[in-house]
Amino acid sequence: MDVMGDKATLYGTGRFVQPAERDETGEAAEEARRRLAAEAGDVEAMSVLGAMLLRRGDLDGAEPQLRAATAAGDRAAANNLGVLLHQRGYAEEAAGWWRIAAVAGSAAAAHALGRHHRERGDEPAAEYWLRQSAEQGHTLGAYALADLLEHRGDDGAERWMRAAAERGHREAAYRLARALDRRTPREQGADGTEGVEASVLDEAEQWYRQAAARGHQRAALHLGAILERRGDVKEAGRWYLTSAKDGEARAACALGFLLRDAGDAENAAVWWLRAAREGDGNAANALGALHAERGETQTAERWYRAATDAGDVNGAYNLGLLCAEQGRTVQAEQWYRRAAYTGHREAANALAILLLQGGDATGAEPWFSKAAEAGSVDAAFNLGILHAGRGEVEAALGWYERAAAAGHAEAALQVGIARLREGDERAAERHLRCAAGGGSAEAAYRLATLLDARRPPRPAHELGEPSHEKSEYEEWYERAAAQGHRRAQVRVGMLAAARGDVVEAARWYRQAAEAGSRNGAFNLGLLLAREGSEPEAALWWTRAADAGHGRAALRLALVYARQGQLVEGQRWADRAVSLGPAEVAERAARLRDALRQELSA
């Protein structure tokens, strides 16, 4: 059979290339010209006229033209006749004509025939014909072959997906980008280098761009996500906006978060609302959080429920938090459980805390364990507290170490304290540094005392000698003091006093004393007394003595004794004897006895 080349192609079924657009006048003129030629026996005109009528939906008019051209050996007509019969519901007859066209070399027919066999579950035949189409350079054939191979898990899928993408297939570009995007963490883990991940991610971005530029809304979404991670927020926002306007709810949600981070909560809410109405649970949850921040708890609860209904587990967790804040413990537990059963680790931890607060330590422990095993650092720390409360020191330390390894400052502090008890100063220092660096004031203070104890004795400060630079332990004391640590404040005050900086010393002593430190109050009293302000000093000593400071009570006894108030002096001496320590108690007893003798004389 003398088979002519493909002269006419169709679109609309997903099997054919879309022809160039024409205006209606030109189309009518072209149809009239082709009809005259077809009536004169021109095979090419019959084929093209049949395609034109088929594209218009005039199946009855198209069929005789296509059958005539097919009988004359036109493979494009055979292909389009298959399309027409397929539209009429005659799939098997359509496949017969596609086979004729495909054997004659029609890539479009081979693609259509491959699709036909796949729809019927005959994958070997589907692969054969799709490969014939793809190898002839047919874009849709390459994409369909890639889809088939990917479905089977065949490594050859990427080659054909890339071929289709390179020929401008939008969905192929998107799917190739997704495959590369998902591969990046595995690539990094395989050899430990970031270079491979960067190159793969760059290629993924390129394909996302190609698909997004052709109007693929999910490609625009993922492109925006890559750009946002890179820090290019402005361009990310443009792609999110493009995708959101095309109806992608996730892009609208992501755009909302970008706007919120930029301080534009009002416009963020607009996009979240749009996404939430499309069923995006993350957006509904964000709306709930926004209203909760404003104190609009009823509206917040409504959106959290919407998020939960949409499958966003954070909605259930946040409902639990909201109920707990309102004292609705029973409802809080229900929502925490709902989220925890789906694997939400923070919900599991919150549920365990709620149970523990209710006295159910036995019920709390498995939830703490579940949360900790899922990666909750707080839950691991809480398990440490739970075991420590039972006296299970080794088990507690194991959980503290696990939390500390993940950067939990208070857990690192507990490990540091345990190592100090064991005499392992090196390990203690390492953990205390981690905890102090993580913001623990107690760790900063303990690290400072550890370093302070190691320092060699400092020679006496000579008059006119320049003041020394602050050592590391002083810096840690000051960091703890600045965080409100009372013992550190007293220590910083003592260091300032040792340097002769009375004003600085008084400032730190006063801060500690006003926060309830009896040592701070005592030292402030000493400083004031030395400066000649004994009445004010007595006020601070009184505060310290009332808090149980023996030396302050002894100082007050001496003050009142000098002033001739022997009864008051005896009272404070008695208090100092009871408070101690031993040296103070001994001196206070002698003073008390002397005052008694004076009173009885």
The region of weakest confidence among 17-31, 256-270, 345-359, 563-577 is 17-31
Taking 50 as the threshold, does the pLDDT of residue 498 lie above it?
yes
- Is residue 403 scored above 90 in pLDDT? yes
**Model confidence over 5-53: pLDDT tens digits?**
333 333 333 334 344 445 667 788 888 999 999 999 999 999 999 999 9
- Identify the pLDDT of residue 458: 61
Please state, rounded to an integer, the average pLDDT across all residues of the chain: 90
- For CA atoms 100, 103, 106, 109, the dihedral sign is positive
What is the Cα–Cα distance from 468 to 470, expressed in whole angstroms?
A: 6
**Can you tell me the distance from the alpha carbon of 531 to that of 525, in angstroms, rounded to the nearest whole number?**
10
Which one, of 326, 277, 284, 274, lies nearest residue 307 by Cα? 284
Predicted local distance difference test score (pLDDT) of residue 193: 43
Residue, of 29 and 464, whose pLDDT is higher: 29
- Percentage of the chain modeled with pLDDT above 70: 91
For residue 19, what pLDDT is reported? 45
**Higher-confidence position of 593 and 436:** 436
> Packing angle between helix 377-389 and helix 345-357, nearest 10 degrees?
30
Please report the pLDDT score of residue 10 as a whole number.
35
> What are the beta bridge partners of residue 74?
4
Global pTM reads: 0.73
- Position 198 scores a pLDDT of 73
Instruction: Enumerate domains of the chain plus CATH numbers.
Output: 485-547 (1.25.40.10), 550-600 (no CATH)
- On the 0-12 / 13-18 / 19+ scale of CB atoms within 10 A, 424 is middle
The CA distance from 225 to 221, in Å, is 6
Q: Tokens 């537990």: give the residue.
A: 333
Predicted confidence at residue 442, as pLDDT, reads 96
Which band of pLDDT confidence, cut at 50, 70 and 90, is reported for residue 468? low
Quick one: pLDDT at residue 184? 67
* One-character DSSP codes across 31-43: HHHHHHHHHTT-H
Measured CA to CA, the distance from residue 213 to residue 458 in angstroms comes to: 72
- What is each CA distance from 165 to 134, 207, 215, in whole angstroms? 12, 8, 14
The answer to whether 401 and 410 have CB atoms below 8 angstroms apart is no
Q: Among 157-171, 398-412, 465-479, 513-527, which is the least confidently predicted range?
A: 465-479
Which of 38-47, 152-161, 185-194 has the least mean pLDDT? Answer: 185-194
Lowest mean pLDDT among 57-71, 176-190, 297-311, 368-382: 176-190
